[in-house]
Amino acid sequence: MLERGACSVTQIAGSEEEFWRQVDEDADGWQLRALADECSRASKRLGDGQCYAFTDLPVLGGAYAAENIWVAPWNDWFSFTADAFQLIKDLPDGAKVTFKIVD
């Protein structure tokens, strides 16, 4: 499972069959369905090519809460998180991070 907000990759199944069973069950909540429902109730609805994105990345202390979510074009979100993760991948836990956004 690629968890973009937490900058992590974890093997969650030993086979494709087991993977799809876990998708259906979602016993561990890794699909964040409750958070998606919370966003929907907050009128944050997704259109084609959009996804939920974190304002403050959870890997940097951001909350898994609707207040920390905005609707983004999925290709922009994936590009941004890939760049962010590349920048922080070798930092130790607890390192102070500052981002400067350049247009």
Does the pTM exceed 0.85?
Answer: no
Alpha-carbon span 33 to 46, nearest angstrom: 14
Q: Is the pLDDT of residue 3 over 80?
A: no
- The residues that bridge with 2 in the sheet, in sequence order, are 9
Q: Is the pLDDT of residue 66 over 90?
A: yes
Q: How many residues does the chain have?
A: 103
- The band of 10, judged by pLDDT with boundaries at 50, 70 and 90, is confident
